[in-house]
Structure 1
Amino acid sequence: MTDFSNKRVLVTGGGVGIGLGIVRAFAERGAKVAFTWLTHEPEASVIDELRSLSGSEPLALQLDATDEAQVNAVVAQVAKEFGGLDILVNNAGGMVQRASLADLTAELWHKVQDVNMTSTFLVSKAVLPVIADGGSIVNVASLAGENGGGAGSVAYATSKAASIGFTKALAKDLAPRQIRVNAVAPGLILDTPFHELFNTPEGRAAAIEGIALKKPGHPADVAGPVLSLCSDEWGFVTGATIDINGGQYFS
């Protein structure tokens, strides 16, 4: 396993689901971890677990990642506590609400773009002065950004497709500093609020039938590729999007 004991990591939306799985994986490998949450405040037992795993004090900070002033303040606090940053994982986001184009209001459209894409832009920009040259940024996109998603995913799928395009452009923009920028595109990942809120047991069962491996993923299945992308062993990979969907879709 790659040792991240000398790395300083920030994960947005790290209080639950995929984000918390990524935070746990970095902590388990010795990283100093900071993560943000908006509605899913971590319990004291989670903080204790992360402290035990990493051997250092984790930072859990509430953040609306669509608010530029809040983003700048939180990034500055993390940089001050850690003495800088090495890795950023942009995981904050969500579907917000399913709506077909006919029912999609301009207000909902902008909210979904802000939650998923503006947040990624704001946090990525904010870390530029404090992230070390040779660092890594990973954006959590979605299978929906590649295949259009399920019913009512017009706004969400568009925002996640934008995340993939942003990843490619930022990889070129930050290449002179040797900062690598990649994305992951998870498919059906259970043990997350997303599928509890926006899917049904019947929908999940139908999705599993369409997966070549005939099983769903879990947060740890996303965390592994994220850590690989941030490792020195993957040091020649930038601008890539890694599909994590069990063979449900091949980009």
Structure 2
Amino acid sequence: MTFPKPPFPKQSQPVPGRTDKMQPRPDHGEESYRGSEKLKGMAALITGGDSGIGRAVALAYAREGADVMISYLDEHEEAEETKRLVEEAGQTALVKPGDLQDAEHCRALVREAHETFGRLDILVNNAAHQMHFDSFEEIPDEEWERTFRTNIHAMFYLSKAAAPRMEDGGAIINTASINSDKPNPGLLAYATTKGAIQNFTVGLAQMLAPRGIRVNCVAPGPVWTPLIPATLPEDSVSHFGENYPIGRPAQPAELATAYVMLADPLSSYTAGATVAVIGGQAMM
């Protein structure tokens, strides 16, 4: 398959960004992903499921036979498009807005997913917040706190609520980053949380493995999502991913197979793993 390479048109958007304003438009697998019933009869909760990696994972899970709850902040049009894709695949889709910084909202998401679907097999902790700062002193205290509450605290709340509702064979999949091991200094708060996510994943995997619940994470390199033009300088957006061996950023569709593999019950011995989807780049 052929995917677009930088340089891309210079562009910026207000946070959190919109898919339909991006040039080129991201590929979520709309025309390419073909399912084979790997997740038939299962139910998943995906945070940050309105766009980017979350949308690609929701689409792939639906085409593999899973029902999906899509959690998002307030990007209603984006979430409705993801819902359409899931329903077009013949599966049930729920869309639920709200702020994952709120512990009770996280617990309510898990409760409603379990009550609606009658089960919860997969939790994908994918939602994230990032902002770019050129110097350490520029980072506001509130920004640091928001990044941790969204990226790591919510993961704790959601996983703690989901684990008791999962049966043997359940899967928790966290989105880490190449920044876990190779931090971008301009994304200090984000990179720090991603390191914490990788550590959380390995520790939780050891705690839940005796209960038959597998915990793993995916560590993407650069991925072409709305967060990029919304949070990075225009010059960085234009040349995003070109310094990687493959010479371009990943499209969201290229991440989906990793999340499917980790959710697949046949991956029953994969726990505490990090699947790095980083275009040939060395982690450290």
TM-score range, shorter chain: over 0.9
Which residue in the other structure is 1:233 paired with? 266
Which residue in the other structure is 1:62 paired with? 97
Judging by fraction of residues, say which structure has more helix: 1
Q: Which runs of 5+ in 1 are unaligned?
A: none
Deviation at 1:201, TM superposition (A): 5.1
Identical-residue share of aligned pairs (%): 33
Q: Aligned pairs, how many?
A: 248
The question of whether the paired residues in 2 share the 8 Å contact of 1:210 and 1:248 is answered with no
TM-score by length of 1: 0.92
The question of whether the paired residues in 1 share the 8 Å contact of 2:101 and 2:146 is answered with no
What is the distance in 2 between the residues matched to 1:122 and 1:217?
A: 29
Q: Does 1:77 align with 2:112?
A: yes
What is the distance in 1 between the residues matched to 2:157 and 2:134?
A: 26
What is the distance in 2 between the residues matched to 1:90 and 1:63?
A: 15
Alpha carbons of 1:144 and 1:43: their partners in 2 closer, same or farther (altered >3 Å)?
Answer: closer
Which residue in the other structure is 1:15 paired with? 50
Q: Does 1:168 align with 2:212?
A: no
The question of whether the paired residues in 1 share the 8 Å contact of 2:240 and 2:248 is answered with no
Deviation at 1:194, TM superposition (A): 1.5
Which residue in the other structure is 1:106 paired with? 141
What is the distance in 2 between the residues matched to 1:200 and 1:249?
A: 24
What is the distance in 2 between the residues matched to 1:62 and 1:207?
A: 29
| Structure with the larger RCO, 1 or 2 (CA within 8 Å, 6+ apart) | 2
What is the distance in 1 between the residues matched to 2:147 and 2:243?
A: 27
What is the distance in 1 between the residues matched to 2:79 and 2:157?
A: 27
What is the distance in 1 between the residues matched to 2:280 and 2:37?
A: 26
Alpha carbons of 1:43 and 1:87: their partners in 2 closer, same or farther (altered >3 Å)?
Answer: closer
Q: Does 1:132 align with 2:160?
A: no
Deviation at 1:200, TM superposition (A): 4.2
What is the distance in 2 between the residues matched to 1:209 and 1:50?
A: 32
SS for the counterpart of 2:259 is helix
Deviation at 1:22, TM superposition (A): 0.6
Which residue in the other structure is 1:121 paired with? 156
Which residue in the other structure is 2:241 paired with? 208
Q: Which runs of 5+ in 2 are unaligned?
A: 1-35
Q: Could you tell which deviates more after superposition, 131-140 or 205-214?
A: 205-214
- Give a deviation string over 1:162-194, Cα, whole Å, max 9, x none: 00000000000101111110011111111x122
Deviation at 1:133, TM superposition (A): 2.0
Cα RMSD (Å): 1.8
TM-score by length of 2: 0.82
Deviation at 1:130, TM superposition (A): 1.2
What is the distance in 2 between the residues matched to 1:134 and 1:43?
A: 28
Which residue in the other structure is 2:216 paired with? 182
Which residue in the other structure is 1:48 paired with? 84
The question of whether the paired residues in 2 share the 8 Å contact of 1:100 and 1:152 is answered with yes
Kindly provide the amino acid, as one letter, of the partner of residue 39 in structure 2.
F
What is the distance in 2 between the residues matched to 1:140 and 1:83?
A: 25
Q: Could you tell which deviates more after superposition, 134-143 or 90-99?
A: 90-99
Deviation at 1:43, TM superposition (A): 5.5
The question of whether the paired residues in 2 share the 8 Å contact of 1:93 and 1:116 is answered with yes
SS for the counterpart of 1:238 is coil
What is the distance in 1 between the residues matched to 2:37 and 2:179?
A: 30
The question of whether the paired residues in 2 share the 8 Å contact of 1:113 and 1:159 is answered with yes
